[in-house]
Amino acid sequence: MRLMKKIFNFLLVICISSIGADRINFLGQDSSFTITPFLTISIFISAILLLFFRRKIFFNQKSIYLFICLFFGLLSCILFSVFFSNDMFISLKRFILLIVLIISSFLLYLSLCVNRNNREMLFIASLLGVIINFIFSIAQFFYFLNGKFDGYVWNVIDMNILSYGGFGLRLSGSCQDPNRGAFILSFYLFCILNFKDQYKSHFAKCCINFILIINVLTILITLSRTGYVCLFLVTFFYLRDKKNIIVLINIFLVISIIFFLGGVLSSGIEFDNFDIVKMFNERVSSDSNSSEIHKGLISIGFNLIFSSFKILFFGIGYGASYTVLNNIFDDNTKVNNFHSFYLSMVVESGIISLLFFAIIIIIAYKNSKQFKPLILMTLFFNVFYQLNAEPLFWFLLIISFFNINDNSIAIYSKTNLFLKRFYK
């Protein structure tokens, strides 16, 4: 049993550290389905949890009933939208994926709860997650230096590099999308900053600070504006404690020096389709191509919502936004969603689904103590992006909904009358 506990903890750390690593598809590049490390490892974790540690799970009936009712209501609204979908096959496929993500995230939460040192598990997983993302970013950069912008390693690892505006590159780590990558790295940053105090030795502090520098650096090189706001929110809440100011000043000072030296070294080197000045102007301009696309999507979305009662209450089908957005822009820009979780949810699944989600996130914010800044970060992030297909998003909602500190649904307990009767 002790060996099984070690294996269980090891898999738990690997699962959280690779929770957004969708560059890895174990089915290969030609598959229409994506099996990520998170989905694969969560199956093993769930099996071990139910086979060996189920007696350590205690159910608070009030909490679990509320959770089931709210998520059942949300999923029911989305299921109704599938029947009215412009593309029923795609909507059904994405609806099934959503159910898998929510169940996997819930079981991951339970797995974390049966461990007494859940804060330490999150901390170690975050450190490893930063290192994994940094390695992927370095690999992408070397691909770029060799003139490659796409390719696969062993037919499993996608090394496609996103350019920005045709004159820059965005390094997104183990995540295919730079925005989601920045969100995941911000979560890791929060966990490292808030759970690092348990390590007191000088060597441990130096290693942690070094990884923090890498963490902030990997967020910056995603060139995600929403990611930068997430970085600001995490550091802002961390700075409420005045003793933390010195740590962050040192981290940002080192990063500034790295960027300065990088600018000096790259000033004499010319790369095709790479212009750091144009790239910076594109990122900060409100009239950039990206900003214009977002404005256009908002306008289209609101026009669709109020165009008929059917769309207002049932939507056009979960995940079917692409059916009304393809080739809608003059430059034939391909857009598959409205780049806003709230707008996409109403357009695709109706306004009632958004009401259910609002209740869930209000309860999550109210119940959570240590993760309140992350809930606020998620609320903001979803204004300009959508995380419905991101497992970390659902995992964060669930651990906040049940408040992992209080273990209101799952606690480390040797007796459980409910489960004893169930498995009798």
Helix axes 88-113, 391-401, angle to 10 degrees: 50
Split at pLDDT 50, 70, 90, the class of 418 is very low
What is the average pLDDT across 297-320? 87
DSSP annotation of 221 reads T
CA distance 179 to 185: 10
Of 365, 358, 356, the C-alpha closest to 402 is: 365
Backbone torsions φ then ψ of 175, nearest 5 degrees: -100, 140
Residues 6+ apart with CB under 8 A from 397: 105, 360, 361, 364, 375, 378
CA distance 61 to 327: 49
Structure tokens at 111: 């797995």
Over residues 129-141, the pLDDT tens digits come to: 999 999 999 988 8
Asked if residue 164 has pLDDT above 80, the reply is no
What one-letter code names the amino acid at 180? Answer: R
Structure tokens at 35: 């099996």
The total of other beta-carbon atoms located within 10 Å of residue 377's CB is 24
Q: Name the percent of the chain lying above pLDDT 90.
A: 33
Structure tokens at 320: 């079917």
CA distance 10 to 31: 29
Q: What is the pLDDT of residue 331?
A: 52
Over residues 166-182, the pLDDT tens digits come to: 556 788 889 988 899 99
Asked if residue 421 has pLDDT above 50, the reply is no
Q: What integer best gives the mean pLDDT of the chain? A: 80
Asked if residue 281 has pLDDT above 60, the reply is no
Backbone torsions φ then ψ of 152, nearest 5 degrees: -125, 145
Q: CB–CB of 345/354 below 8 Å? A: yes
Split at pLDDT 50, 70, 90, the class of 145 is confident
DSSP annotation of 405 reads T
Q: CB–CB of 56/412 below 8 Å? A: yes
Of 396, 168, 155, the C-alpha closest to 271 is: 168
C-alpha of 100 from chain center: 15
Structure tokens at 136: 């992927």
Q: What is the pLDDT of residue 149?
A: 66
Q: Where are the domains of the chain?
A: 2-287+336-422
Over residues 283-300, the pLDDT tens digits come to: 555 555 566 777 778 888
CA distance 174 to 158: 9
Q: Which region among 94-103, 183-192, 303-312 has the lowest average model confidence (pLDDT)?
A: 303-312
Of 367, 364, 415, the C-alpha closest to 71 is: 364
Asked if residue 156 has pLDDT above 80, the reply is yes
Tell me which of 125 and 272 has the higher pLDDT. 125
Q: What is the pLDDT of residue 409?
A: 45
3-state secondary structure of 388: coil
Of 247, 240, 195, 251, the C-alpha closest to 218 is: 251
Run of H or E residues at 322: helix 322-325
The total of other beta-carbon atoms located within 10 Å of residue 190's CB is 24
Split at pLDDT 50, 70, 90, the class of 411 is very low
